[in-house]
């Protein structure tokens, strides 16, 4: 095996590692409002689950999380601390429910702890930079030698797989339905990853009010499978 082929294999393995549900940060324990959407009857079957998940992928992940991951990664890569602080606080302010903000902070902090004393993680852990999952993915992507698009793909796939798993548990859906949901979301996911670096600052922002309402209601939902 030549060096280039081996390096490509390592990058692929690191991308799969970052996207894996086995990554020990606890992402599997959150439904991001989906549990409430099921409880309220907004999501009741495979079709409505597809509408919910793909809608969030287009209107939230593609318009906020992924382009901000790009900005955070580039700020880290160029050691631009001012922009790192600015975009980290921008992301924090964009989380519309306490549940979303707390999840983002805890998952991001968990991923940065996993990176240990890596120099990218140390830069991301500066006292005035609030931790977030996009920041953790930005640091992990740099630490593990991933190209920007690979880190974006890992983030989007990780989110998608967690949402489908939550739908399978709460609706519930079978494994074949889960695979159909994943297959159907491949094209919008690829489009989101491809377009994220080109989204202008003025075009940033999620537009999913029902999602924000569901996350806020989930904080006080009487019975829950997922963490609030």
Residue 60 within a domain:
yes
Q: Which CATH number does the domain housing residue 179 bear?
A: 1.10.4190.10
**Do the beta carbons of residue 53 and residue 194 sit within 8 Å?**
no
Q: Can you give the pLDDT at residue 227?
A: 74
Residue 223 lies in a domain: no
d(CA 109, CA 133): 8
Domain that includes residue 45, residue range: 33-218
133 with 6: CB under 8 angstroms?
A: no
Give the per-residue pLDDT at 8: 82
What is the number of domains present in the chain?
A: 1
Q: What is the mean pLDDT of each run of 10 residues along the chain (228 residues)?
A: 71 93 88 94 97 96 98 97 96 93 94 94 91 97 96 97 96 97 97 97 93 91 78
Asked, for residue 228, whether it belongs to a domain, the answer is no
* Alpha-carbon separation of residue 39 from 140, 171, 189, 218, 224 (angstroms): 35, 9, 27, 10, 10
Query: CA-to-CA distance for 218 and 126, rounded, in angstroms?
Result: 31
Task: Report the predicted TM-score, pTM, of the whole model to 2 decimal places.
Answer: 0.94
Token pair recorded at residue 6: 């081996």
């Amino acid at each position: 095996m030549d060096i280039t082929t081996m390096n490509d294999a390592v990058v692929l393995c690191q991308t799969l590692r970052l996207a894996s549900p086995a990554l020990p940060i606890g992402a599997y324990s959150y439904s991001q409002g989906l549990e409430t959407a099921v409880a309220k009857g907004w999501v009741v079957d495979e079709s409505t689950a597809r509408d919910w998940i793909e809608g969030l992928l287009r209107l939230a992940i593609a318009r906020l999380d992924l382009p901000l991951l790009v900005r955070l990664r580039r700020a880290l890569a160029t050691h631009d601390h001012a922009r790192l602080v600015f975009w980290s606080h921008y992301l924090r302010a964009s989380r519309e429910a306490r549940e979303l903000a707390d999840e983002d902070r805890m998952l991001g902090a968990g991923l940065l702890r996993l990176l240990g004393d890596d120099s990218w993680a140390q830069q991301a852990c500066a006292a005035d930079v609030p931790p977030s999952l996009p920041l953790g993915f930005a640091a992990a992507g740099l630490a593990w030698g991933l190209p920007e698009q690979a880190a974006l793909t890992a983030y989007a796939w990780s989110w998608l797989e967690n949402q489908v798993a939550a739908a399978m548990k709460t609706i519930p859906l079978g494994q074949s339905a889960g695979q159909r949901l994943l297959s159907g979301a491949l094209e919008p996911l690829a489009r989101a990853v491809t377009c994220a670096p080109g989204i202008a600052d003025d075009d940033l922002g999620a537009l999913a009010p029902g999602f924000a309402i569901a996350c806020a209601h989930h904080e006080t939902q009487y019975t829950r499978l997922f963490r609030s």
